[in-house]
Amino acid sequence: MEKVITRKQFLHNTAKYAAGISAGVAGFGLISRTNASPLVEPVPLPWGYEELDVEEARKLGHQGYWSGLGCSYGAFHAIIKLLKDKVGEPYTLLPTEFLEWGRGGGWGWGTLCGALTGALTAMNICLAKATASKLGNELTGWYTQTEFPSDISNQYAEDEEFYDNRYTDTILQTVCGSPLCHISVSTWLSLPYKKLNTVERSERCARLTGDVAAYAVQIMNDELNEAFTPIYTPPETVGYCMTCHGSEAMDDTIGKMECTQCHGDHTAVSVGKENGFAPTYKLNQNFPNPFNPKTTIQFSIPQTAAVYLAVYDIHGRLVKNLVDLKDYDVGSHTVVWDGTNNYGQKVSSGTYFYRLQAGEFTESKRMLLVK
Ligand code: HEC
Ligand code: HEC
């Protein structure tokens, strides 16, 4: 566990805070300054963590949602409120309302689930960077694979054990595969007869808020007790897609979200097999490029066609026939060039062109063989 700020340090910092706050608040809510010296010294992060009650966090998260400030505030407040009670300063000086913006995935934009925003922010205040990032990764991944609301939350509601018992029916559970508010809420709304602006849907998010706060507290407790073991395993497709698109290779995207939730798997089809659909003819840049000893060329055709694909040198001389007027089905296809010519000899390093002819379509691209 990271170094926890001692009570003495807390008290020391509190005295400075108190001095700053009593200096008054200006019209726009900014602390007014009469001279150049800062009124307060920031208390450096992390502020430390002490073991908290998981079930209390669940109930406070649920209640916080219904306070009118929403999911992001709810999850943040649940954790920080418990730390205010248990640890005191500097947590007591933190106005938890500033997390309200995260509701609905950021003022209704449906991006990161607000409950995650709240809990991840709390973690970032309590824990040193490496721990916050490790546990934050776990919390986010766990979220994508968890049924919400949890059985525990449904049970609390039924037994009227929440602090706010306005809706006590069991709520159907969904797993959404994504950390996005839009996908989480829409997946649940795709159940029969569900609508967004209903008490039932709000209660679903209130229970989820409690569940997220509770799991955040649970893994922080585990970490504190040196008992943390991640349960999240990323979907296989992410690792697979990132072997080409990640920083080791093409380096052209960022993310850990399940790729196939939004993109098709364009590699599912190899030479000659049908992919079902391709909107237009397309010849993609070879991968990797520059390359040695071999490279992959990918192309798509929107209708069955006789395909001719060949490699030329910079003088336009034919080097290798890769596909020699063969019929291909609709979809995307890949062909590998191993850097040899039509006589099976290794060609020298330098610039080459590959040219696709399919139906009426012709296109060439350049590639670089390096030694
Ligand atoms: C074998 C390497 C490889 C793998 C694995 C791979 N890709 Fe690609 N991907 C490419 C290449 C090469 C391109 C073409 C790049 C270009 O046109 O500049 C590409 C293009 C794309 C594009 C852009 C499509 C377009 O038409 O511009 C998307 C999106 C994409 N890949 C997503 C994925 C996803 C999702 C996965 C995993 C299911 C995946 N890729 C796996 C090599 C790969
Ligand atoms: C929530 C939906 C979503 C998820 C999940 C997602 N993407 Fe994307 N991705 C997009 C959108 C939207 C774009 C921009 C439009 C486009 O080019 O398709 C994009 C763009 C890309 C591009 C650039 C395409 C180009 O034309 O240059 C690549 C590569 C890519 N994504 C790969 C991935 C990989 C790999 C994953 C999984 C780690 C992934 N995406 C997960 C929605 C998503």
Measured from the Cβ of residue 80, the count of other Cβ atoms closer than 10 Å reads 25
CA gap 209, 61 in Å, rounded: 5
**pLDDT band at residue 26 using 50, 70 and 90 as cut-offs:** very low
pLDDT in tens, 64-115: 999 999 999 999 999 999 999 999 999 999 999 999 999 999 999 999 999 9
Pocket of ligand 2 (CB under 6 A): 238, 241-242, 245, 252-253, 255, 257-259, 261-263
Question: Residue ranges of the domains in the chain?
Answer: 7-224, 282-369
- What's the pLDDT score for residue 268? 56
Ligand 2 atom 33: the closest Cα is on which residue? Answer: 259
Rounded average pLDDT over 204-227: 98
Q: Which two tokens stand for residue 326?
A: 């063969």
Least distant ligand from the CA of 260: 1
**pLDDT band at residue 314 using 50, 70 and 90 as cut-offs:** confident
Rounded average pLDDT over 326-347: 89
- What's the pLDDT score for residue 6? 53
CA gap 254, 73 in Å, rounded: 28
Looking at the domain covering 282-369, what would its CATH class be? mainly beta
- The single-letter code of the amino acid at 165 is N
Residue 40, pLDDT > 80, answer no
Contacts of 126 (CB under 8 A, 6+ apart): 46, 47, 48, 49, 79, 83, 132, 220
Best residue for ligand 1 mutational test, from 237, 242, 244, 300 (most atoms within 8 Å of Cβ): 244
**pLDDT band at residue 16 using 50, 70 and 90 as cut-offs:** very low
**pLDDT band at residue 36 using 50, 70 and 90 as cut-offs:** low
Residue 285 CA to ligand 1 centre (angstroms): 10
Residue 21, pLDDT > 90, answer no
Residue with tokens 């979200």: 257
- What's the pLDDT score for residue 333? 87
Residue 70 CA to ligand 2 centre (angstroms): 30
Of 22, 13, 82, which is closest to residue 45 (Cα–Cα)? 13
- What is the residue-averaged pLDDT of the chain? 88
Residue 146, pLDDT > 90, answer yes
CA gap 255, 160 in Å, rounded: 40
- What's the pLDDT score for residue 15? 45
Residue 364, pLDDT > 50, answer yes
- What's the pLDDT score for residue 332? 84
For 26-54, letters b (16+ CB in 10 Å) and e give: eeeeeeeeeeeeebeeebeebbbbeebeb
Least distant ligand from the CA of 240: 1
Residue 326, pLDDT > 90, answer no
Rounded average pLDDT over 215-232: 97
